[in-house]
Amino acid sequence: MAKSETRIILALDFDRLDQAERMVEITHEHVDVYKIGPILFTRFGPGIIEFARNTGAGVFLDLKFHDIPNTVRGGVRAASSLGVNMLTIHALGGIDMMRGALEGAEEGSKTFGTARPLIIGVTVLTSMAGEEDTLTQVLKLAGDACEAGIDGVVCSPLEVGRVKEAHGDRLLTVVPGIRLGGDQANDQARVGTPGQAVRDGADFMVVGRSVTGSSDPKEALARILEEVEDA
Ligand code: C5P
């Protein structure tokens, strides 16, 4: 895969708007998509999406819906009114739930006149330790995601190569758990470097505390971009 094909997603996991604003100011030239998760969204509500859209980058709403199919359908329909480019659900919710999400996105974008967001299924959280059967589980959930017809999956740097091999023609891959050499893993268990993720064909890599928790976020992002270029 050509080096420029891996897009950079930056996780704005802050509960203060000024911190998010500062991070956008520092990083916007190099970030393709900003990720809004439960921290900012719960603190500031849907208005925070407008802030993210105004950065000019794409917007990823990472609320990881996991409920009965009808509820997820309604939640995704509502989320589609916000004009986000991608959003997450849990693949563990099952094929019918994933189909419900897709239907909700299609209905919502028609009703609200927005582009349909990409529906991305979380497989096994990157904070879960890599057990012997983690890869099998991830591949099974990625197969379910294909069957449901959603757009992509979230998996760790340890599985992305195998997921691309099995389903690369059908599924986009979104890869968190990215750490630079010398970084803390924090609560993540299945981690890898930016270079590894690019070489294994990640379509998107999610970068969080490697940059946002660094004393010099600009320099940390530059190191990541360098690894991406070199991969
Ligand atoms: O700070 P760190 O690089 O660990 O951030 C990773 C981001 O990706 C967090 O916002 C986390 O919620 C998100 N994420 C994850 N694992 C998944 C899905 C999303 O770490 N399976």
Could you say which DSSP state residue 175 is in?
Answer: E
Q: Whose CA is nearest to atom 8 of ligand 1?
A: 176
Report whether 64 contacts 122 (CB < 8 A): yes
Q: Which of 120, 103, 101, 121 is closest to 111 using CA atoms?
A: 103
Backbone angles phi, psi at 51, to 5 degrees: -55, -45
State the Cα–Cα distance between residues 63 and 49, nearest whole angstrom: 13
For residue 12, pLDDT over 90 is answered with yes
Q: What 3-state DSSP class applies to 216?
A: coil
3-state helix, strand, coil in the chain (%, to 5): 50, 15, 35
For residue 5, pLDDT over 90 is answered with no
Q: Whose CA is nearest to atom 20 of ligand 1?
A: 176
pLDDT mean across residues, the chain = 95
Q: Is 64 a catalytic residue?
A: yes
Catalytically annotated residue among 35, 64, 110, 164: 64
End-to-end CA distance of the chain: 10
Per-residue pLDDT tens digits for 160-202: 999 999 999 999 999 999 999 889 999 999 999 999 999 999 9
Q: What percent of the chain has pLDDT over 70?
A: 98
State in Å: Cα 73 to ligand 1 middle. Answer: 23
Name all residues whose Cβ lies below 6 A of ligand 1: 11, 13, 37, 62, 122, 125-126, 154, 176-178, 186, 188, 206-210
State the Cα–Cα distance between residues 196 and 81, nearest whole angstrom: 36
The stretch 212-223 carries a mean pLDDT of: 96
pLDDT level of residue 26 (50, 70, 90 thresholds):
very high
Please name each of the domains of the chain with its CATH number. Answer: 7-230 (3.20.20.70)
Predicted TM-score (pTM) of the model is: 0.95
